[in-house]
Amino acid sequence: MTEKGIWTGAALARLLMEKANYSLTPASISALLNNQPRQMKGETLDALCIALDCTPNDLWVYTPPQKVRGA
């Protein structure tokens, strides 16, 4: 998101509202910026892609789960 000039949660919230007419709670925005969310609604993904002018592939990198020994 830094490539798009998004450095703060407030900036992301503003962009989501301006470009996608979508709002997220401060906790949700914090999770997006600081963690890897465990789940995400499709409408949130759509709003992020609209606001950031990108595709889902630009937002995620797939990391396969590690195999458990003895399983």
6-18 pLDDT per residue, tens: 788 999 999 999 9
Query: How many distinct structural domains can be found in the chain?
Result: 1
Residues with Cβ within 8 Å of residue 46, at least 6 apart in sequence: 20
Domain that holds residue 54: 2-59
Considering the domain boundaries, does residue 14 fall inside one?
Answer: yes
CA dihedral angle for residue 30, residue 43, residue 41, residue 46, rounded to 10 degrees: -70
Q: In a 3-state reduction of DSSP, which class is residue 68? A: coil
Considering the domain boundaries, does residue 46 fall inside one?
Answer: yes
Considering the domain boundaries, does residue 66 fall inside one?
Answer: no
Considering the domain boundaries, does residue 36 fall inside one?
Answer: yes
Considering the domain boundaries, does residue 71 fall inside one?
Answer: no
Considering the domain boundaries, does residue 65 fall inside one?
Answer: no
34-67 pLDDT per residue, tens: 877 788 899 999 999 999 999 999 988 888 888 8
Of 2-6, 11-15, 25-29, where does mean pLDDT reach its minimum?
2-6
